[in-house]
Amino acid sequence: MTETSSLEAAEKKTSAPTPSPLQNYLLAALSPDVQERLFPQLELVHFPLGKVLYESGDTLRHVYFPTDAIVSLLYVMEDGASAEISVVGNEGVVGVALFMGGESTPSRAVTQSAGHAYRLTGPKLKEEFNRHGDMLHLLLRYTQSLITQMAQTAVCNRHHTIDQQLCRWLLLSMDRLLGNQLTMTQELIANMLGVRREGVTEAAGKLQKLGVIQYNRGHITVLDRARLEELSCECYAVVRRETDRLLPHVAYKRNQLRSGKN
């Protein structure tokens, strides 16, 4: 690449619009006075695909509010095998152990879909949390929805087929993206679901033959979401209903975006 083309590439990168904190549904749901206190304390960070935010047992020093990134929370076994227990995107926050009092967690947080997040230090979060206002109640409700997702994922991994698990995983991911495309290799999906790569290859092939998805070199496009929901087990619907019940602003914002309203 020439010096001129490198400069042009850098200019294109820097000219991209800066994500707004309001793209995260939790931050957008805070009252104006809380936003006025918190937003100046937020730091924008970029998460490339595969970036590890924290490892098992790490002391958490920040929480992260994704805007267009998706983060997977994984449990990793001693032999290196892993399985996803939940996924966090623009509806939530990464690092609940910090404000729940544990300060650390046995899970690992890894970027599943590249993008951005706003980072807030532990002391600043706790300062707002201890006001017993919007932030406290909102984050506690979000934590309950996250626990529901973790519990349902455990049940799904035990009782449902790889085909159903893949449908659930794709739907949860699509809920946290503005479009219908996801960049993810079958090997990474297998690591997320805790299954063999061959199983994911077979399941993805079935969905592609049905015209539900298109998969090409790590790029997944969902062509028929309604059919994807039909093929999924009940686990996706359970998580979706509970999230909408506990965090109605998430459902409202999601519907706004899908209808083309900002």
Q: Is residue 56, in this structure, part of any structural domain at all?
A: yes
Provide block-wise average pLDDT over 10 residues at a time, the chain (262 residues). Answer: 42 65 93 94 94 89 94 84 87 91 85 94 92 90 93 88 91 87 79 79 90 87 93 92 87 66 46
What is the domain range of residue 41? 3-141
> Would you state the pLDDT for residue 35?
95
C-beta separation of 117 from 64 below 8 A: yes
Q: Is residue 16, in this structure, part of any structural domain at all?
A: yes
Task: Give the H or E element holding residue 219.
Answer: strand 219-222
Q: Is residue 184, in this structure, part of any structural domain at all?
A: no
Overall size of the chain counted in residues:
262
Q: Is residue 70, in this structure, part of any structural domain at all?
A: yes
> Would you state the pLDDT for residue 15?
53
C-beta separation of 244 from 154 below 8 A: no
C-beta separation of 63 from 94 below 8 A: yes
Q: Is residue 164, in this structure, part of any structural domain at all?
A: no
Q: Is residue 186, in this structure, part of any structural domain at all?
A: no
HEC profile of 90-139: CCCCECHHHHHCCCCCCEEEEEEECEEEEEEEHHHHHHHHCCCCHHHHHH
CATH assignment at residue 131: 2.60.120.10
Q: How far apart are CA 31 and CA 28, in angstroms?
A: 8
> Would you state the pLDDT for residue 216?
84
> Would you state the pLDDT for residue 257?
59
Contacts of 29-38 with C-beta under 8 Å, sequence gap 24+, read 29/134, 29/138, 29/247, 29/249, 30/134, 30/135, 30/138, 31/133, 31/134, 34/128, 34/133, 34/134, 34/135, 37/128, 38/120, 38/124, 38/128, 38/135
C-beta separation of 192 from 84 below 8 A: yes
Q: How far apart are CA 207 and CA 166, in angstroms?
A: 10
Nearest alpha carbon to residue 93 among 130, 38, 31, 138:
138
Q: Is residue 207, in this structure, part of any structural domain at all?
A: no
How many separate domains does the chain show?
A: 1
> Would you state the pLDDT for residue 1?
46
Q: How far apart are CA 113 and CA 175, in angstroms?
A: 13
C-beta neighbour count of 240 within 10 angstroms: 19
Q: Is residue 205, in this structure, part of any structural domain at all?
A: no
pTM: 0.85
Q: How far apart are CA 172 and CA 239, in angstroms?
A: 9
